[in-house]
Chains A and B, each alone.
Chain A
């Protein structure tokens, strides 16, 4: 396959609390927003991508019916947790380049705030690991907390370093009118917030919101015909990680592999990257992921994020300038779409002026799905503005 696919539409649903909407409606409104952003219509869509957050057992088909998509010739329901929209945007690029489709729509949406929390997660019946985890009260906080605890143990990562990730997010969120937590917080406020699951405190944890978003991917010919900045997917790679029979460690993620492959495909170096969207389910997620992405050595992520190094206009690597999952939006327990949308805003030069990175022509967006270091899928995407 040669050439590039382009992201021409990106939309983050403005809702953060959707008592008055259905999950399907959030997907549909997001799709409409992303297609309008691109200057395309539902009738142009011939490929649809949605993970398990598409409501129903046959959620992809169900949402296709809901949105009246009648020209589909490609469907993809890859589930890797919160990273799924990035993974599927990468799949969309390859499907376009191999000639299977021309206009690909990716949606994500959920109501983890006002929906029924018991019905958020799929029935795990038959999952082979289930009998060895469910009796122990495993949940998302526990898994991420254990990754954080081990990182602290091996590398001496400090409480203050973790807090800097949240501080940076809050500095960005103050400029985002849709952010749930627009108030700037201090290192001390984060470090002294209530303990949830040692060592994770309340302000280490991402938001729980309703909402979603969508992305539209097309080939070069269509991208040229649209009156939008041309944002090409210069590199995209996914990887997964599990417990490997009880062998694999908790201090690295599949991002190590997805990043190496995405950077190799893009043929760029870390010094070329002007902005990074980094999945931030918890503060430690960002520290571990920045190491895995290769922005610093393994174990040095704590030092890397300190002293405002992730704050736009202050530090060397602006990260999550929308406020991220920590302060802006983490809809349906999945942060993938907001990550990709803010990366597109930055590389287009359409981020909020207070956080827009100057000359931002090359960015990375990274998703971490599932249970960070023990069972999850990662995707790294490198985007470049060419017009």
Chain B
């Protein structure tokens, strides 16, 4: 089955590191060293305490599906999900390399990286136990 073409993320200086790491196969998450909270999407100012003392941390890449859908009418159907990361925050993503009919809320997933069109690879997720 052919894969959906992934639009390249629009980069800016605030979030370049995130996608540079993704392109190397690493999932980063932003956390605040002032209040200790992790958050997504990443940003320079902590959305909870507004401190500038935020830092990139390497995420475990593990999480579970908070919610999901399958866009059945797209030329190449694809699954959109909100994944709850082990670190706490939820992120919008795609679930890939799996039988879409097996998806459910609460399903454990792990990160994989998929190329975008003329841009960096972006993090997506696949059910735990699926072959790498």
Q: Is the CB–CB distance between B78 and A146 below 8 Å? A: no
Residue in A closest to B101 when the chains form the complex, CB atoms: A198
Q: Which of B11, B71, B94 contacts A197 (CB 8 A)?
A: B71
- List residues of chain A with CB within 8 A of the CB of B48: 245
Q: Is the CB–CB distance between B72 and A246 below 8 Å? A: no
Q: Is the CB–CB distance between B39 and A135 below 8 Å? A: no
Q: Is the CB–CB distance between A132 and B92 below 8 Å? A: yes
Q: Which of B9, B39, B72 contacts A196 (CB 8 A)?
A: B72
Decide: A250 near B69, CB < 8 A? Known: A132-B91, A135-B9, A136-B94. no
A43 to chain B, nearest CB (A): 46
Taken together as a complex, chains A and B put the C-alpha atoms of A133 and B105 apart, in Å, by 20
Q: Is the CB–CB distance between B19 and A136 below 8 Å? A: no
Q: Which of B12, B78, B80, B94 has the most CB of A within 10 A?
A: B80
Taken together as a complex, chains A and B put the C-alpha atoms of A195 and B91 apart, in Å, by 25
- List residues of chain A with CB within 8 A of the CB of B89: 245-247
Q: Is the CB–CB distance between A141 and B69 below 8 Å? A: yes
Q: Is A222 an interface residue (CB 8 A)?
A: no
Interface residues of A in 108-157 (CB under 8 A from B): 125-126, 128-139, 141-142, 145-147, 149-150, 153
- List residues of chain B with CB within 8 A of the CB of A129: 41
- List residues of chain B with CB within 8 A of the CB of A132: 9, 40-41, 91-92
Q: Is the CB–CB distance between B39 and A246 below 8 Å? A: yes
- List residues of chain A with CB within 8 A of the CB of B9: 130-132, 134-135
Residue in B closest to A150 when the chains form the complex, CB atoms: B67
A294 to chain B, nearest CB (A): 24
- List residues of chain A with CB within 8 A of the CB of B14: 128
Q: Is the CB–CB distance between B39 and A245 below 8 Å? A: yes
Q: Is B130 an interface residue (CB 8 A)?
A: no
Q: Is the CB–CB distance between A245 and B40 below 8 Å? A: yes
Q: Is B132 an interface residue (CB 8 A)?
A: no
Taken together as a complex, chains A and B put the C-alpha atoms of A130 and B11 apart, in Å, by 9
A138 to chain B, nearest CB (A): 6
Residue in B closest to A130 when the chains form the complex, CB atoms: B10
Taken together as a complex, chains A and B put the C-alpha atoms of A86 and B9 apart, in Å, by 34
Q: Is the CB–CB distance between B69 and A197 below 8 Å? A: yes
Residue in B closest to A142 when the chains form the complex, CB atoms: B80
Decide: A198 near B69, CB < 8 A? Known: A245-B39, A246-B39. yes
Interface residues of A in 155-211 (CB under 8 A from B): 194-200
B12 to chain A, nearest CB (A): 8
Q: Is A22 an interface residue (CB 8 A)?
A: no
- List residues of chain B with CB within 8 A of the CB of A198: 68-70, 72
Taken together as a complex, chains A and B put the C-alpha atoms of A197 and B81 apart, in Å, by 12
Q: Is A243 an interface residue (CB 8 A)?
A: yes
Q: Is B7 an interface residue (CB 8 A)?
A: yes
Taken together as a complex, chains A and B put the C-alpha atoms of A245 and B91 apart, in Å, by 9
Q: Is B23 an interface residue (CB 8 A)?
A: no
- List residues of chain B with CB within 8 A of the CB of A149: 67-69, 105
Taken together as a complex, chains A and B put the C-alpha atoms of A133 and B7 apart, in Å, by 10
Q: Is the CB–CB distance between B6 and A146 below 8 Å? A: no
Interface string of B71-110 (1 = CB under 8 A from A): 1111000101110010011111110000000001110000
Q: Is A244 an interface residue (CB 8 A)?
A: yes
* Known contacts A153-B67, A246-B39; 17 further A-B pairs (Cβ under 8 A): A132-B40, A132-B41, A132-B91, A135-B9, A137-B7, A142-B80, A146-B68, A149-B68, A149-B69, A150-B105, A153-B105, A153-B106, A196-B72, A197-B73, A246-B89, A246-B91, A247-B88
20 pairs of residues in contact across A and B, judged by CB atoms under 8 Å:
A130-B10, A131-B15, A132-B41, A134-B7, A134-B10, A136-B124, A138-B92, A141-B69, A141-B71, A142-B80, A146-B67, A146-B80, A149-B68, A196-B71, A196-B72, A244-B47, A245-B37, A245-B48, A246-B89, A246-B90
Chain B residues in the interface with A (C-beta under 8 A): 4, 6-12, 14-15, 19, 37, 39-41, 43, 47-48, 66-74, 78, 80-82, 85, 88-94, 104-106, 116, 122, 124
Chain A residues in the interface with B (C-beta under 8 A): 125-126, 128-139, 141-142, 145-147, 149-150, 153, 194-200, 243-247, 250
